[in-house]
Amino acid sequence: MGRLGEFEIPAVRLTDAANAVERAHRAFGAQFERESLAGALRLRGRGGWFAALVTSLRIWGLASGRGTLRLTGTGLRVARAESTAEKSAARREALMAVPLLREIVRRSPDAIPGRTDLALMLAEITAADAGRIHSSLGQVRKVLTDAWQPPALELTVSSSPEPARRQASGDNGANERLAATIELSFSGGKVSLPETAPNLELAASLLRRRATELGLASGRPGRIEERGE
């Protein structure tokens, strides 16, 4: 665990902490002994990484206690989440449980700040000296980038239940044509668009951007918009 001023920095990424919580919940439920968790994770109970993990569980707001650990409401939501939307909401809740990261998100809600902007934010938030900020900057970016969850995007191409009728040249009757639509579902709502070439290109562009964002979150090559570089 690191510290900047009065603010704690998790030593373990949210993804790793969430995985530990999910495995613990499957094995023991909502309460378990510290040594039991170490055994379930195949870690040494007195090892440094396990100690950092347990401390990080508390910083992320996923568990409380010391010898006996209890999953918090956030921890239970992380462990029980099934859908993409549930997992995203639970991770967002954990992110916002860390005061330092919550302040960064409040100042930069739309994009992960670049190194320069982030260093300035940390100076404003923590009042720590420049040397301490420089040594902690990498860890803050690491946990922030991992925990960052861009809005979920789903793409559905479907047929409208109401057929559009048109009169075909030379026909005695009307031909029916089902009007296809594109539905873009975000965490904040849904948009339905006619299936046209420009709208398909828009959907493809959004999906490519989403793939890039997920690549960055998982550690694979990718890029999300940054400011201040």
113 beta partners: 227
**CB-facing half-sphere around the CA of 133: CA atoms within 13 A:** 17
**Residue 106's closest CA among 144, 61, 55, 63?**
144
What is the per-residue pLDDT for 166?
43
| Spans in the chain with pLDDT lower than 70 | 1, 149-179, 184-192, 209-229
Q: In this predicted structure, what is the pLDDT of residue 189? A: 54
Q: Are 9 and 143 in contact (CB under 8 A)?
A: yes
Q: What is the pTM of this model?
A: 0.66
Which pLDDT belongs to residue 180?
75
| Res 194: pLDDT | 78
Triad 158, 194, 89: Cα angle to 5°: 65
Rounded to whole angstroms, the Cα distance separating 156 from 168 reads 29
The per-residue pLDDT for range 113-139, each reduced to its tens digit, is 999 999 999 999 999 999 999 999 999
